[in-house]
Amino acid sequence: MTVTQGAPTRVVTRSEVEDFLYAEADLLDAQRYDDWLSLFVEGARFEVPTTDNPHLPAAVSGYFVCDDWNLLKARVKRLKSRKAHAENPASLTHRMVSNVRLGEQEGDELRLTANFIVHRSRDGGMSAYVGRYEHRLRVTEGGLRFLLRRSVLAHEHLTAGARLSFIL
Amino acid sequence: MTERRGPIGTPLVVQDWDELTFRVHRSAYRDDTLFADERTQIWDRTWLYLGHETELPEPNDFVVRNLGGRPLIFCRDTEGELHAFLNSCPHRGTVLCRESRGSSKLFQCFYHAWTFRNNGDVAAIPDQVAYPDNGFRDTMGLRSVARLETFEGFVFVSFTDDVPPLREHLGAAADYLTMIREQHVGGMHVLPGTQLYGVKGNWKLAVENAMDGYHFSPTHNTFVGYLRETGFAVDDDDQYAYNLGNGHSLLILTGHGGRISMLWEPRFGEAERERTAEHRREMEQRLGSDRAHLVADESHILFVFPNLLLFDLEGLSIRQLEPVAPGHTDVRAWQLVPRVEDPDVRDLRMRTMVSFVGPGGLATPDDIEAYEAVQRGIEATAGDARTELDYSDMSRGMASELTDERGRSTDEGAMRGFWRHWVRAVGQEPLDIGTPPPPRAEPVPQPSKRPHGLDEILAGLGAEAQEVSR
């Protein structure tokens, strides 16, 4: 088989992407952070922009989360520690992913958007976080991997108690 | 709601000069009546931080925000002059501007279409002939705040005329705002992208937390570990806390991390080391060696009473506190960055600062956990017949108040200064037990023993250059 440059390495279906996102959601709800980190390409980033300017890049805007690979690894290490007080005991999270849409695929890179709802319970209260994923994935023969994992909140602000101590 | 205040006449702040203890009654964090008193005695009576002038870069720009519970429009008029208007139509009180920000020459109330220019003048009252022709229209301009003044780009307002000039109110805190401007030759500006979040805790818990170096190692254990792994050892020696007067306070930190473009540390990477040396040479020229040392080599956490916290650390973050209820505070945080900055440095700055501060960082969530856990925990002693249990303790390092010594950053002296100011503001004196020491002047901030960072970085670069040449 010949592969022309820039052509998809292989066809990715929406159901494959959905399965990937559902599996990721389960890993996070189960706090299996090492397994979750293995879903990333080394060097990947994780971003959560602020609610008031969700479309500006991090160089010109404040962010809630703006992790390069080192910070992402540090975040995972922190979440696994007993000393991450904001997540010890861990928040109980429950994730729903829907409205999955595949964007352009250029070579082995695929863009996708999806909607999320995360319910988080802790300290006798529940917070709902709703928004949209704007991810970039690397398509490999072995599966899909995050190049950029970006969660964009559809909120005016984070209500009282609704911090981002967990992975959104 | 249940009355959670202590018995009538309960002293809110008790300082025992024989036992050297300092205690704050926990109703201060949870009582509705005290919260209402704070509104009238503090938030309606003193200068409040509204915003930074660079949030409104162009004429006609506006943002809306609540301050001390009052909805405001913060705008530049067509001539470029700054205003703060009550965001409430003078006609029937409707919220006039329902956008959170934008650019507009006019504000029109949707209810009856009264329209105002962005300098506050009435532009149109529909069907005006039904009103008396006696200057009625001229009385119906937008209501301004009583006072608005700016210092080093930081815009403060007051809801009463009865306040001293802003510069006088800022007092010793002012120079730390000037130092921020001096960091970069082109000055600083606020980036769009505001961290808007709420915490289930009293606003004073956020102030205490910022002035509390004692919590840093246990609360931020995972962040301290992260810094250690990147080659930086957190050190609390030679760090002090100061009361600056008027309720303002300051921590001077030298052992908690580098400062982007001013004080290099390994996690910033090699390219940044060269750039830092270059910028430090420029600062040396522009500010002179002593001033450059002060501006660049010390990190500051500055609290300007009652609602402004400035985190001048690896980068610069402005945090504004907006009390909503005794157990609920809204927080707004902005990144203040050099106007002119190399894109690689900007990227490093944003990653580094956001990684620490903010509700999604590696440290601030643990602070929020602390405020919220205190707010829940203090219900345990509310109304207990053993009234002495319903106090929080802030005695740490109080012995230094009997001498001329500075308080360490890991003591609780800055908190004590804050609470003494607060309790007088709400109309009580601290209750003294034993013999209070004679009044003394607060220790004045002293430079740290830290070496000049330019020498250090040149020595570091020099050592590597020597290694390469060998």
State residue B452's pLDDT score: 86
Residue B205 within a domain:
yes
pLDDT the model gives residue B307 = 98
pLDDT at residue B468, rounded to an integer: 43
Residue B255 has pLDDT above 90, yes or no: no
Distance CA A139, CA B364 (A): 35
Domain-embedded: residue B405: yes
The reply to whether residue B354 touches residue A123, judged by beta carbons under 8 angstroms, is: no
Q: At what angle do helices B203-210 and B413-425 cross, to 10 degrees?
A: 150
Q: Is residue B3 part of a domain?
A: no
Same domain, B153 and B202: no
pLDDT surpasses 60 at B2: no
Average pLDDT of the segment spanning B230-252: 89
Please say if the pLDDT value at position B181 is more than 50.
yes
Question: What residue in A sits closest to B193 (Cα-Cα)?
Answer: A62
Query: Could you list the residue range(s) of the whole structural domain that residue B91 is in?
Result: 48-158
State whether B356 and B208 are in the same domain. Answer: yes
pLDDT at B463: 65
Q: What is the pLDDT along chain A (168 residues), one digit of tens a residue?
A: 444 445 557 889 999 999 999 999 999 999 999 999 999 999 999 999 999 989 999 888 999 999 999 999 999 999 999 999 999 999 999 999 999 999 989 999 999 999 999 999 999 999 999 999 999 999 998 899 999 999 999 999 999 999 999 999
In terms of DSSP bridges, do strands A40-49 and A143-153 run parallel, antiparallel, or are they unpaired? Answer: parallel
Q: Which two tokens stand for residue A98?
A: 């829907």
Q: What is the nearest CA distance from B126 to chain A, expressed in angstroms? A: 33
Residue A1 near chain B (CB below 8 Å): no
pLDDT at B127 over 50: yes
Q: Which residue has the higher pLDDT, B358 or B467?
A: B358
ipTM metric: 0.93
Interface residue A121 vs chain B (CB under 8 A): no
Of B111, B134, B158, at which residue does a domain stop? B158
Identify which of A62, A71, A165 has the shortest CB distance to residue B193: A62
- DSSP per-residue string spanning B391-430: EEE--TTGGGGGSSPPEETTSSHHHHHHHHHHHHHTT-PP
Question: Which among B196, B225, B354 has CB closest to A63?
Answer: B354
> Over chain B, what is the mean pLDDT?
92
DSSP secondary structure, B30-60, as one string: H-HHHHHHHIIIIITTS-EEEEEGGGS-STT
**Phi then psi dihedrals of residue B307, to 5 deg:** -130, 10
Q: Is B195 found in the same domain as B68?
A: no
Quickly state the pLDDT bin for B8 (edges 50, 70, 90): low
Q: How many separate domains does chain B show? A: 2
Angular region, B60: left φ>0, alpha ψ -120 to 50, beta rest: left
AA identity, residue B143: R
Q: Could you tell me which of B19, B407, B443, B28 has the C-alpha nearest to residue B214?
A: B407
Whether residue B250 contacts residue B445, with contact meaning beta carbons closer than 8 Å, is answered with yes
The mean-pLDDT minimum among B212-221, B277-286, B380-389 falls in B212-221
Domain holding B132: CATH number?
Answer: 2.102.10.10
Q: Which residues in B348-385 are b (16+ Cβ under 10 Å) and which e?
A: bbbbbbbbbbbbbbbbbbbbbbbbbbbbeebeebbeee
Domain regions of chain A by residue span: 14-153
Please report, for residues A89, B84, B234, B275, the alpha-carbon distance to residue B225 in angstroms, rounded to integers and kept in the order given. 20, 44, 9, 27
Domain's final residue, options B112, B140, B158: B158
> What are the φ and ψ backbone dihedral angles of B117, each rounded to 5 degrees?
-75, 160
Q: In sequence order, which residues have a C-beta less than 8 Å from that of residue B304 and are 6 or more positions away?
A: B49, B170, B173, B248, B310
In the predicted model, is pLDDT for residue B3 greater than 50? no
A64 contacts B360? CB cut-off 8 A? yes
For chain B, percent of residues with pLDDT exceeding 70: 97
Task: With respect to residue B146, please indicate whether it lies within any of the assigned structural domains.
Answer: yes
Of B112, B138, B158, which residue is a domain's last? B158
Question: Closest by alpha carbon to B243, among B255, B235, B251?
Answer: B251
Which residues are paired to B144 by β-bridges? B85
How far apart (Å, rounded) are the C-alpha atoms in residues A70 and B146? Answer: 49
Cβ neighbours of B192 in A, within 8 Å: 52-53, 56, 60-62
Instruction: Answer yes or no: is B364 within a domain.
Output: yes
CATH number of B270's domain:
3.90.380.10
Is B34 part of any domain?
A: no
Nearest one of B321, B326, B343 to B382, comparing CA atoms: B326
- B356 in Cβ contact with B313 (< 8 Å): yes
- Please tell me whether residues B239 and B289 are part of one structural domain: yes
Q: Is residue B33 part of a domain?
A: no
* Selection from B4, B42, B9, B46 nearest residue B429 by Cα: B9
Closest among B339, B353, B1 to B183, alpha carbons compared: B339
pTM of the model as a whole: 0.95
Bridge-based pairing state of the strands B431-433 and B13-16 = parallel
The pLDDT value given to residue B6: 52
A36-80 pLDDT, tens digit each: 999 999 999 999 999 998 999 988 899 999 999 999 999 999 999
Measured CA to CA, the distance from residue B430 to residue B114 in angstroms comes to 50
pLDDT confidence bin for B234, thresholds 50/70/90? confident
Q: Are B193 and A81 within 8 A, CB to CB?
A: no
The third-level CATH classification (topology) of the domain covering A14-153 is: Nuclear Transport Factor 2; Chain: A, (3.10.450)
Closest-CA residue in chain A for B191? A61
* CA B103-B341-B185 angle, 5° bins: 95
